[in-house]
Amino acid sequence: MAMITLTIDKQKVAVKEGTTILEAAKQLGINIPTLCYLKEINVIGACRICMVEVQGARTFVAACVAPVAEGMVVRTNTAAVVKARKLVLELILSDHPMECLTCVRNQNCELQRLAEAFGLTEIRFQGATTDYPVDDSSPAIVRDPRKCVLCRRCVSVCAEVQTVRAITAQERGFKTLIAPAFNQGLSEVACVNCGQCALVCPTGAIHEKDDIDKVWAALADPKKHVVVQTAPAVRVTVGEALGMAPGSIVTGKMVAGLRHLGFDKVFDTDFTADLTILEEGNELLQRVNGGGTLPMITSCSPGWIKFIEHFYPDLLPHLSTCKSPQQMFGALAKTYYAQKAGVDPADVFCVSIMPCTAKKFECERPEMNSSGYQDVDVVLTSRELARMFKRVGINLAALPVEEYDAPLGISTGAGEIFGATGGVMEAALRTVYEVVTGKTLDNLDFEMVRGLDGVKEATVPVGDLNVKVAVANGLGNARKLMDAIKAGTADYHFIEIMCCPGGCIGGGGSPIPTNTEIRNKRIAATYVEDKNMPLRKSHENPAVQALYAEFLEKPLGHKSHELLHTKYTPRGQYPEQ
């Protein structure tokens, strides 16, 4: 590709043709402020904060969308440029509620950071303000249009990355609103609760529903026996929300922090991830040997489940009937564990810490009560857990490393890698291979299913059978595989789908920011965790073996079906006419 040479702030730089001024400046270490821009996802030049001066141009140009040209002379920091940017910022703020102190994004807000950077001390423009009401109809996501800066990041990620299109810009000019059609609530439309919108929102206009008060109340109730489970991805992400570098592994410190908060037992979703492998692996073998519906598709990711229910309801028979590890945990916490611990299941309060907003919807699904109670009482995202730690002054870095409680805290590396795209597949392959062939795997690392590629494929010889698998992360990529199934061109045995780009480590409840670079660091940390575990195959988990011996009897047995398997609801994507 042709190289273009230009001058930015008196420095020469050569970049590939088609590069934007913003990206070219970055190569020189010059940071141009942005607000609406989101690399590769939302590049529309809407907010104008990134304006720069280009010699010979009639007006200032938006650096995020303007491509470089040969001999171009750019100035990013003249007094006129800074003044113009400041004016833009002041105009945005003229219709923004000044509620930073009580905002969920206080100190983690891109608009607030810009106001600080530009040294704003007053709001010069007073005028009409947007007063669309807050939408808190969804159990997972809250929209507050008053705080919206109309950057369209959420619209882009919902439409282009996830292909859900639950929200879009409606009306025009001052009345513009980002919302579902007819300004319906998110709970009334085909929103899958993935929370990718909340992850990219620069302000507090879309955020997770905060449920921490329910947990504080349970912890303060002496009658409640409060148990907590932590998803695989949380231990490699939550540190970021507390000031640590991306990729920090805080497993043992997080366990200590949770005990400090007052949880009676600190358990691990990795345990039921291992259990999932045994149930799902056996279900796969049963389908392969018994002529069941293939390809079989994983069912761990609740955003994905709601997606297929809305957009591909005719493919529901392809889904594994296994509940997600979170829900398996809830069902066991109020049966097996309650019995074992001698606690009345009515008093067990089950909290999940998840990188996921869709889990909040999942735990409230009417069918998720096979213990006789709502199996999981409250789901908190990683961000909410960080908030709880902050509230009581927990400095995670200073805490000792502690162990999970037995038995529901005992797990393997296979359970841990559920947090990254390809991980469920890899964990399943480790077990299916050994169970079917009776041989020990030499190399546990199935590299071909790892990494951020949208769709990955592999063929793995298991005894006489070449098992053909595919892995997709992000719903846009899931859609490609679903269309292939519909077209009859998907001759796979097993497909893993994770709703969020990168898998759960990129979940909608993760620390903000989450981007490609950070996702890669979290994935790397996940595989380090896996390597560090003494056991790395689900079927070797002694606590899972004991669970079958003492309680469930066998995979896909009667009790398993009762507690660990579920059914799905075809929903369609359009309202009744």
Partner 1 sequence: MVACGCKCETTEQAQLIEQLDRIIDEYRGQPRGLIQVLHKAQELVGYCPKWVQVRVAEGLGVSLQEVYGVVTFYALFSLIPKGRHKISVCAGTACYVKGTKMVVKAIRQHLGIKPGQTTEDSRFSLETVRCIGACGLAPAMIIGKDVHGRLEPEQIPEILEQYQ
Q: Which amino acids are annotated catalytic?
A: 280, 283, 300, 320, 359, 362, 367, 504
Which of residues 22 and 166 has its CB atom nearest to partner 1 in the complex?
Answer: 166
Instruction: State which of residues 190, 333, 490, 563 lies at the interface with partner 1 (CB under 8 A).
Output: 190
Q: Does 574 bind partner 1 (CB under 8 A)?
A: yes
Q: How far is the CB of 172 from partner 1 (least distance, A)?
A: 5
Per-residue tokens: 379: 């789901």
Q: Does the CA dihedral 493-499-502-506 come out positive or negative?
A: negative
Q: Does 169 bind partner 1 (CB under 8 A)?
A: yes
Q: How far is the CB of 311 from partner 1 (least distance, A)?
A: 10
Q: Does 180 bind partner 1 (CB under 8 A)?
A: yes
Which of residues 172 and 223 has its CB atom nearest to partner 1 in the complex?
Answer: 172
Q: Is 450 helix (H, G, I), strand (E, B) or coil?
A: coil
Q: Which residues contact 26 (CB under 8 A, 6 or more apart)?
A: none
In degrees rounded to 5, what are phi and psi of residue 357?
-85, -30
Q: How far is the CB of 164 from partner 1 (least distance, A)?
A: 8
- Give a three-class secondary structure readout of 287-308: HHHHCCCCCEECCCCHHHHHHH
Among the candidate windows 85-93, 168-176, 297-305, 521-529, which touches partner 1 by CB under 8 A?
A: 168-176
Question: Strands 265-268 and 225-230, how do they pair?
Answer: parallel
Q: Does 187 bind partner 1 (CB under 8 A)?
A: no
∠ CA 71-73-79, nearest 5°, is 180
Q: How far is the CB of 141 from partner 1 (least distance, A)?
A: 15
Given a contact cutoff of 8 angstroms between Cβ atoms, the answer to whether 90 and 125 are in contact is yes
Which of residues 6 and 475 has its CB atom nearest to partner 1 in the complex?
Answer: 475
Q: Does 170 bind partner 1 (CB under 8 A)?
A: yes
Q: Does 3 bind partner 1 (CB under 8 A)?
A: no
Q: Does 487 bind partner 1 (CB under 8 A)?
A: no
Q: What is the DSSP letter of 322?
A: B
Among the candidate windows 26-34, 177-185, 359-367, 502-510, which touches partner 1 by CB under 8 A?
A: 177-185
DSSP-assigned letters across all residues of 18-40:
T-BHHHHHHHTT-----SS-BTT
Q: Output Rg (C-alpha) for the chain, integer angstroms.
A: 25
CA pair distance 287, 284, nearest whole angstrom: 5
Instruction: State which of residues 137, 168, 187, 437 lies at the interface with partner 1 (CB under 8 A).
Output: 168
Q: How far is the CB of 532 from partner 1 (least distance, A)?
A: 44
Q: How far is the CB of 270 from partner 1 (least distance, A)?
A: 37
Among the candidate windows 180-188, 256-264, 390-398, 544-552, which touches partner 1 by CB under 8 A?
A: 180-188
Q: Does 133 bind partner 1 (CB under 8 A)?
A: no
* Distance from chain centroid for Cα 231: 11
Q: Does 576 bind partner 1 (CB under 8 A)?
A: yes
Q: Does 174 bind partner 1 (CB under 8 A)?
A: no
Instruction: State which of residues 166, 227, 428, 504 lies at the interface with partner 1 (CB under 8 A).
Output: 166
Instruction: State which of residues 167, 333, 380, 458 lies at the interface with partner 1 (CB under 8 A).
Output: 167
Q: How far is the CB of 574 from partner 1 (least distance, A)?
A: 5
Instruction: State which of residues 121, 127, 182, 223 lies at the interface with partner 1 (CB under 8 A).
Output: 182
Q: What is the DSSP letter of 187?
A: G
Which of residues 191 and 435 has its CB atom nearest to partner 1 in the complex?
Answer: 191
Residue type present at position 558 = H
Closest by Cα among 234, 227, 212 to 267: 227
Q: Does 121 bind partner 1 (CB under 8 A)?
A: no
DSSP-assigned letters across all residues of 272-286:
HHHHHHHHHHHHHHH
Instruction: State which of residues 10, 12, 172, 223 lies at the interface with partner 1 (CB under 8 A).
Output: 172
- Give a three-class secondary structure readout of 517-568: HHHHHHHHHHHHHHHHCCCCCHHHCHHHHHHHHHHHCCCCCHHHHHHHECCC
Which of residues 170 and 437 has its CB atom nearest to partner 1 in the complex?
Answer: 170
Given a contact cutoff of 8 angstroms between Cβ atoms, the answer to whether 414 and 273 are in contact is yes
Q: Does 29 bind partner 1 (CB under 8 A)?
A: no
Q: Which residues contact 417 (CB under 8 A, 6 or more apart)?
A: 232, 423, 424, 426, 427, 526, 527, 530
Residues that bind partner 1 (CB under 8 A): 165-172, 180-182, 189-190, 573-577
